[in-house]
């Protein structure tokens, strides 16, 4: 079990906090609005009304003892930057912060955020891929030019082994897993002798330009 501190219990923060708790973690949620704290109280381990901009508040809750802190305040650059800075100064090992723009992202990265998330942008990219490429079942952006995608097995690959296909050398893409069977169970790190079936889904990792070549087969 890990411990998480979630600062900001709006829709994003509340969703993250509740899911982390549902996954068996210990979660403390903080917000300045009492109604948000009350709404979250039944879904997470602890919830308090407090102002995380105050370093003394962070000391009182022993912020440094949490495995990870999530700053879920995306609309106010100044507030999220101040809280992120305070968390890092108090020794929080990992700080994840929500941002609302590229400028916001750059500011928080400069002051030490370990990871920044831009939910609207990331969801927009994912939706665009889903709409543009009808054969992409799922999509995760790793960087500006690399992704992990789930793709139904191309017709030309059916009944062939991964060794025969030599996907890595021919296309510059790694097949890191398969999803197969009626329950779409994962086969992690399939071997060269695995034969691809018509209903399989391949989970491919690589640069977008190389993955696009596979999508067009």
Q: Angle at CA 26, nearest 5°, toward 140 and 114?
A: 45
Report pLDDT digits (tens) over 158-192: 999 999 999 999 999 999 989 888 877 888 889 99
Q: What is the pLDDT of residue 54?
A: 95
One domain, residues 87 and 175: no
One domain, residues 79 and 136: no
Last residue of a domain, one of 117, 142, 170: 117
One domain, residues 189 and 98: no
Domain count within the chain: 2
Q: What is the pLDDT of residue 215?
A: 78
One domain, residues 44 and 143: no
Cβ(85)–Cβ(112) under 8 Å?
A: yes
Q: Counting runs of H as helices and runs of E as strands, what totals does the chain give? A: 9, 11
Mean predicted confidence (pLDDT) in 81-105: 93
Cβ(169)–Cβ(135) under 8 Å?
A: no
One domain, residues 126 and 111: no
Q: What is the pLDDT of residue 148?
A: 85
Percent of the chain with pLDDT over 70: 89
Mean predicted confidence (pLDDT) in 147-156: 88
One domain, residues 34 and 88: yes
Last residue of a domain, one of 61, 95, 117: 117
One domain, residues 60 and 40: yes
Provide the domain limits for residue 148. Answer: 122-215
Q: What is the pLDDT of residue 130?
A: 59
Last residue of a domain, one of 62, 88, 117: 117
Report pLDDT digits (tens) over 22-77: 999 999 999 999 999 999 999 999 999 999 999 999 999 999 999 999 999 977 89
One domain, residues 54 and 72: yes
One domain, residues 140 and 53: no
| Residue positions counted in the chain | 217
Q: How far apart are CA 96 and CA 48, in angstroms?
A: 20
One domain, residues 75 and 140: no
Report pLDDT digits (tens) over 203-212: 889 888 888 8
One domain, residues 13 and 113: yes
Q: Could you tell me the CATH number of the domain that includes residue 159?
A: 3.30.70.1450
Q: Could you tell me the CATH number of the domain that includes residue 96?
A: 3.40.50.720
Spatial CA neighbour of 96 closest among 3, 30, 5, 25: 5
Q: What is the pLDDT of residue 169?
A: 92
One domain, residues 135 and 35: no
């Amino acid at each position: 079990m890990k411990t998480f501190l979630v600062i900001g219990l709006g829709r994003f923060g509340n969703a993250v906090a509740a899911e982390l708790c549902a996954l068996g973690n210990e979660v403390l949620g903080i917000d300045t609005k009492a109604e948000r704290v009350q709404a979250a109280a039944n879904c997470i381990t602890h919830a308090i009304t407090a102002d995380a901009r105050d370093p003394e508040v962070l000391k009182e809750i022993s912020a440094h003892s949490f495995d990870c802190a999530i700053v879920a305040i995306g609309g106010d650059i100044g507030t999220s930057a101040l809280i992120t800075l305070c968390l890092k100064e108090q020794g929080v090992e990992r700080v994840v912060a929500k941002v609302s723009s590229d400028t916001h992202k750059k500011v928080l990265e400069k002051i030490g955020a370990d990871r920044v998330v831009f939910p609207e942008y990331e969801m927009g990219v994912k939706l665009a891929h889903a709409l543009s490429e009808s054969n992409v079942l799922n999509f995760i952006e790793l960087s500006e030019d690399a992704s992990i995608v789930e793709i139904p097995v191309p017709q030309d690959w059916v009944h062939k082994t991964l060794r025969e296909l030599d996907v890595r050398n021919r296309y510059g893409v790694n097949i890191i897993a398969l999803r197969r069977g009626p329950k779409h169970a994962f086969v992690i790190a399939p071997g060269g002798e695995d034969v691809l079936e018509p209903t399989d889904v391949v989970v491919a990792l690589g640069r977008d330009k190389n993955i696009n070549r596979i999508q067009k087969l």
